[in-house]
Chain A
């Protein structure tokens, strides 16, 4: 996204609100008079509407201090299948390929944000943070899950050991974070400081930790459901293949990009699109992790070539479009009726996760001897969850179809809650830590 512009007048906000209303009315009118079957045609309109409505909503929520990501999500919810139904469920699914591309660009930018010297400096903090954020959050959330077991319908009649296994899987899901949400917010407010650096480093590297943790937990959980089963080591082999393969492909892609940036660098965005589209599809096809691959590629370009800043700048230029597409689609995906049905449990589980994240962050900062700002606000960027968590939930559901539907339902609801409150908390943290543009401006003015 572009550098922050001066605050807009109320007149400008009025124009934006009026245009949002006019656009939504126009599409609503056309949809009521000419229903159209889902397909590419509907996807084109939907993409246009999500882009326009997302951009406008993000500007309007700025008035109440919310981050742009919240605006994108709200726009997606508003025009999505559960409120105005201007973008139908199938159309949202059809925008998936575009979402994969958006995620690839986000991961590439995320990798390029990781600087080796900063990682070295923060190594001690990162190790403590990963240890506590992983195990404390996992255990606390799994404990809460078990405590709420009688309110969770799909645990009815389940053997105690099996219920513990489901709780552990739920705990693993809770340890995943949202790189997209963190990077989206960074693109909007361009913060600078230790909280920003630590959050980026933690969130990007947590992808690897979560994948490993899930593999171990899945293997153990199988034992809980089937006592006759033996520990299946092939799962670890598959994870090793996924991690090493993703890193290797990411390194190759990073080197290719570095060479290209050195030789020419012209039309970089077209090159990224031409590489990103087939790479995303290929990685999915050969069961590698696109997020990790693109992150490694960005990391290689940033730290082993001189083209890192150029790459970042080029991706940033597409920020308004990439993040709108990603989060507005996520908003449209949000199952509001479902959330309405199980909101007390979803809210309870999300609340426990948030508190556990906060406690783990404070404990890790104390042990690592971090500066006060990290001790106080280090947790704020770790609450968001989005696409990665949903992907993990799908893997769990596929591995255990016996409780899959219920697990999926609950996970969508809780991830939805975290998706909505996470960016707000991170922005609050950055503002209070004095790292956001607004905070810097205010302190400069003062």
Chain B
């Protein structure tokens, strides 16, 4: 199948993503879109081979644009859950849990990976950083979707959503560091200057976010606003990629700056939010098609250890923090496992890292990201529903789509 046919196929998937949440009807699909991941694996080189590696490589820039767009959406939503400002305390807790999960996954990978995979000396650090990113996100959208299908509404549900909202910054900042310390081609301007690279990743995002905010302040027409958002977004992606920076991190910062500086952030978040599923689901399918398991048992073991570390951090954090959420109900000691959901940002990290590090480092990071998403779907969503049910916030009945809260990545 050539790249052109795949592109059309992706548009069909985007359509499917949009159609899976028809207005006024019951929603279809899994909270993280894992079924699209399976479709990708099935059609990709690991499955039927209908989509070849060459075709995936041809589509790679487009894939990175879509993945970076997801990061922009996350940035533009930072600190908000369903248009409600997330309390600072919960933001801090969520951020700290994300950092601890990042650190734990990174350390496990740093010490275990050399024994299990044939890595070059420098690759050990790259792999550890990438696996730290793979293990640190909590997907708010997956959680909110999963909870809302069980009619989850109440203080515990809000607490879960708030905690999940805070940690997107961790994997994306990690990705920025990974790209900054990663190898740069001979003669590249930022070669050997990781601090400058990191500063530029953030600076470029701030500048383009400020530019977009300034323009949307003086432009109220929605289609002109789309031109501005799309133009600035593509420009940021192009410039970041040209400089060898992590484009998703730049776009995340751009979204956050836009969120902070725009006069009518709510309207802009609404506009951007409408693109989540049409962009997310094709990206998820592409990620599935990109999966490459040629590193065999070593890959499996490293990924397994990293996921165990993530599980341990989430479980411990939940047990420690459950009495400090400031709500009337006290969740069980297993509440942390309800925070296992991974989604768009994890997949974005996996795809970006796989494109930047074409060897075992990229393959293992992508595999870990996809495994985290699948595990989140298998473990996180049922346990989240259980917590909500025990707290009396869920009836176990599916909710009509119009009652579902707005999504963010």
Contacts and interface: CB of A to CB of B under 8 A. Distances in A.
Interface of A: 1-3, 5, 8, 11-12, 15-16, 19, 22-23, 26-27, 30, 33-34, 36, 40-42, 44-56, 59, 266-267, 270-271, 273-274, 277-278, 281, 316-321, 324
- The 7 A-B residue pairs whose C-beta atoms are closest, nearest first, are A45-B238, A48-B234, A51-B231, A48-B235, A52-B231, A2-B221, A12-B218
Nearest to B12: A274
A267 B242 contact: no
B214 A19 contact: yes
Given A33-B189, A274-B12, 9 more contacts: A12-B218, A23-B211, A26-B207, A30-B239, A41-B241, A45-B235, A51-B230, A54-B227, A320-B224
A266 B19 contact: yes
B362 interface: no
Interface in B1-53: 4-5, 7-8, 11-12, 14-15, 18-19, 22
B4 A277 contact: yes
Contacts of B22: 266
Given A23-B235, A44-B238, A270 B61 contact: no
Nearest to B222: A2
A1 B221 contact: yes
Nearest to A50: B231
Interface of B: 4-5, 7-8, 11-12, 14-15, 18-19, 22, 61-62, 65, 188-189, 207, 211, 214-215, 217-224, 226-228, 230-239, 241-243, 278
B215 A1 contact: no
B227 A55 contact: yes
Nearest to A268: B15
Contacts of A273: 11
22 contacts: A1-B221, A16-B215, A27-B239, A30-B242, A34-B189, A41-B242, A42-B238, A44-B61, A44-B238, A48-B236, A48-B238, A49-B231, A51-B230, A53-B231, A55-B231, A274-B8, A278-B4, A281-B4, A316-B223, A318-B226, A320-B223, A321-B223
A404 B15 CA distance: 45
Contact of B7 (A30, A36, A51, A277): A277
Nearest to B223: A320
Contact of A270 (B5, B18, B211, B233): B18
Contact of A15 (B215, B233, B242): B215
B221 A3 contact: yes
Nearest to B14: A270
Contact of A321 (B61, B65, B218, B230): B230
B18 A266 contact: yes
Given A2-B221, A15-B217, A15-B218, A22 B11 contact: no
B18 A267 contact: yes
A42 B242 CA distance: 8
A399 B239 CA distance: 42
A30 B19 contact: no
Contacts of B5: 278
Given A2-B224, A41-B61, A44-B61, A270 B15 contact: yes
Contacts of B223: 1-2, 316-321
Nearest to A45: B238
Nearest to B239: A30
Given A34-B243, A267-B18, A274 B235 contact: no
Contacts of B222: 2, 317
Contact of A1 (B14, B220, B224, B231): B224
B338 to A, nearest CB: 32
B401 to A, nearest CB: 12
B218 A320 contact: no
Contacts of B241: 41, 44
Given A15-B214, A52-B232, A278-B8, A45 B239 contact: yes
Residue with the highest number of chain B CB atoms closer than 10 Å, among A26, A281, A318:
A26
Contacts of B227: 51-52, 54-55, 320-321, 324
Contacts of B65: 44
B226 A321 contact: yes
B17 to A, nearest CB: 9
A38 to B, nearest CB: 12
Contacts of A19: 211, 214-215
A15 to B, nearest CB: 5
Nearest to B237: A44
Contact of A47 (B226, B228, B234): B234
A42 B9 CA distance: 25
Contacts of A318: 223, 226
Contact of B15 (A27, A42, A267): A267
A291 to B, nearest CB: 21
Contacts of B19: 266-267
Nearest to A39: B61
Nearest to B200: A30
A26 B214 contact: no
A119 B188 CA distance: 61
A44 B68 CA distance: 12
Contacts of B238: 41-42, 44-49
A266 B218 CA distance: 31
Nearest to A316: B223
Nearest to B278: A270
A19 B11 CA distance: 33
A105 to B, nearest CB: 13
A55 to B, nearest CB: 4
B242 A55 contact: no
Contacts of B236: 48
Contacts of B218: 8, 11-12, 15-16
A2 B219 CA distance: 11
B235 A277 contact: no
Contacts of B243: 30, 34
Contacts of A46: 238
A123 B231 CA distance: 42
B61 A40 contact: yes
